[in-house]
Amino acid sequence: MRILRIVFYTLLFTIAIAQQLFNPWNPNIHFKTDDKGNVWLGDDPFKFSIISKSSYP
């Protein structure tokens, strides 16, 4: 039971850290969003779509 609790809290801690480090809506990590809800990495003309919420970016 103690090992299960340690694994659970370790997993919970890892998920919390991962959400803070890889949040695409955090303006400090150079992701860009547009008015359609798309998330981009990079500048024009070399953009990489991270999250696409529309059919035509």
Q: Is residue 38 part of a domain?
A: yes
Give the closest residue to 19 by CA, choosing from 29, 32, 6: 29
Give pTM, 2 decimals. Answer: 0.39
Residue that has been written with the tokens 């150079």 in this structure: 30
* Residue 11 within any structural domain of the chain: yes
Q: What is the pLDDT of residue 3?
A: 92
Is 57 inside a domain boundary?
A: no
What pLDDT is recorded for position 27?
60
pLDDT (tens place) for every residue of the chain, 57 residues total: 899 999 999 999 888 777 666 666 666 566 677 777 777 766 666 665 555 666 655
Domain-embedded: residue 56:
no
The number of distinct structural domains making up the chain is 1
Would residue 9 count as lying in a domain?
yes
Parent domain of 39? 2-51
Tell me what pLDDT residue 7 has.
93
Q: Give the pLDDT score at 4.
A: 93
Cα diameter, the chain = 54
Asked whether residue 43 is assigned to any structural domain, the reply reads yes
